[in-house]
Chains A and B, each alone.
Chain A
Amino acid sequence: MTAEQWGAIAGSICIIMAWSYLFKESDVYYFAEHLFVGLTVARGLTYTFENQLKPLILKDIAEKGQWSLLIPVVIGLLIYCWFFKGLRWVARITMGFWIGYGAGYTLAFSPPVYLKQVFDTFTPFIKDGRFNFEGVLYFLVVITALMYFLFTVKKESGVLKYGSMFGRYALMVAFGSAYGSITMAYLSLVIGKLQVIFKDALHLVK
């Protein structure tokens, strides 16, 4: 047997071990779960060390002489102060850098994406001389969905009340379609695993 075939058999055993949880909580499942956690950590450690840390230190810093990169190296290392009780505040400097970078990027780069979304909502009500039903419906659903999430004003009567009610039903259609799609996604995963067992390992299915 080839390594690939042995792999399919091992994979099938792993799938059955994991799925044993569906029938009864047992040590078999926990064995599989902890094996997975251990393997993920081991792989993460070796991959990051070999493919990222090594080239960073050996190539970028030592070979190319980008010594200024030692500053972010030090900033990154400060995060390990988290493990020393009196020095936890130092680790927050690294976190501060990440948070600032993330927040700055969100504010700097996201607006064009969302503005396009806003502009696209305002489609003409008359298109090619005909009433654009789809465009009007789209506009109404976006506005009423936003209205539904407006919590700072009372919506006891008038446009706000009926608008948010319409928005609620429109959102139910959206959630329904999300549920339909998610159902399909999860079944695909089960199908994928059954293919590993019955196709790749047992060769019972073409």
Chain B
Amino acid sequence: MDWDKLQRIDVRWIYVLVIVCLLVPMFWPLGLPITISENTRKVWEAVDKLPPGSVILVSHDTGPGNAPELNPMLSALAKQAFEKNCKIVGVAFFDQLVGPPMFQEYVGSVAEKMGKKYGVDWINLGFRLNATATMRQMCDDIHGAMLGVDWQNKPLSEFPIMNEVKSIKDDVDLIFVTTVGTPGYADWMTYVAEPLKKPLTGGASLTMYSGLQQYIRSGQLQGFLGGLRGAAEYEKLVGAPGKGCSGMDAQSLGHMMIITFLILGNIGYFASARKKSRA
């Protein structure tokens, strides 16, 4: 076989192969078991140990690109939180296009199924500019920081939940951040969680997951979910398999495909190098 030819293959064939490899398990699922990692278990425990009626502040700091990885985490969190009768207050700082509507869609659909009311059990405060300044204000005065309105521009004083939740310092028990960059977990840790000694957990896109491990080790993050895999594990833990779990088989085949590409690419490289040295 002329391995050298492998070096000159049209890249578009690779793209077609990627689509095929990811599609096959969607049509014919492999049903491979998902093991739960320590980091995901810690996230689950952080929510689980909250007493009923606690308030979780969720910051959905995702952009359109990484939303497929992070959105399923919200559904799983909402299920676990609402089952424990915890309340959810949502904000967004990363992207106004994605954060508030996606929070509304994913938390809203779980809330509807579980009979939880908007404004009573959960609320969407929307996107705000200038993350640092807004976060710092939220520590003492959430109403003021949010300019007194929710994401639909309705006065916060109209909602019973906001009569209980006035500041992060006194009324929030856990901060859950989905993160893809800045602003994200680092800002929440630096400006809110660390000064107020509040527990911080959440989930990150796998693009930055390896870069935040040291904070889990030092206990500054109470575990963290890693991308779609983390979402799938969390869904499994809360007993609500959703978009995270359904993507895992495709992910498996995708990874095998990349490893095969790495092997074939290197065989081609060494074959052509050998040919050159012989010539």
* Nearest CB on A from B101, distance (A): 10
**Interface bits A11-24 vs B (CB < 8 Å: 1, else 0):** 00000000000110
Which B residues lie within 8 Å of A151 (CB)?
A: none
Question: Would A59 and B68 count as touching, CB distance under 8 A?
Answer: no
Contacting pair B247 A191 (CB below 8 A) = yes
Q: Can you list 19 contacts pairing A with B, beta carbon distance less than 8 Å?
A: A23-B12, A44-B96, A44-B97, A50-B153, A51-B149, A59-B147, A105-B132, A109-B190, A109-B194, A116-B194, A181-B206, A181-B210, A184-B255, A185-B69, A185-B206, A185-B209, A189-B65, A190-B18, A194-B19
B228 near A188 with CB under 8 A, answer yes
Given A192-B67, A194-B23, CB of A55 within 8 Å of CB of B15: no
Q: Which residue of B lies closest to A43 (CB)?
A: B97
> How long is the Cα–Cα vector from A62 to B122 in the complex, in angstroms?
30
Interface size classification for chain A: 35 or more
Q: Give 1 or 0 for each of B250-279: 1 = CB within 8 Å of chain A CB.
A: 110011001000000000000000000000
- A184 is contacted by which of B206, B217, B219 (Cβ under 8 Å)? B206
- B194-A185 in contact (CB<8A): no
Chain B residues, CB < 8 A from A181? 206-207, 209-210, 226-227
Interface residues of A (CB under 8 A from B): 22-23, 40, 43-44, 47-48, 50-52, 54-56, 59-60, 101-102, 105, 109-110, 112-113, 116-117, 120, 174, 177-178, 181-195, 198-199, 204-205
Instruction: Let me know if A109 and B69 touch, CB within 8 A.
Output: no
B residues near A54, Cβ cutoff 8 Å: 153
Which residues of chain A come closer than 8 Å to B159, judged between CB atoms?
A: none
Count of CB-CB pairs between chains A and B under 8 Å:
140
- Cβ–Cβ contact B126 & A194, under 8 A: no
State in angstroms the CA–CA spacing of A191 and B229 once bound together.
Answer: 12
- The residues of B with any CB-CB pair to A shorter than 8 Å are 12, 15, 18-19, 22-23, 26-27, 65-69, 96-97, 126-129, 132-133, 147-149, 151, 153, 189-191, 194-195, 205-207, 209-211, 214-215, 217-220, 226-229, 243, 246-247, 250-251, 254-255, 258
Contacts of B147 in A (CB 8 A): 51-52, 55-56, 59-60
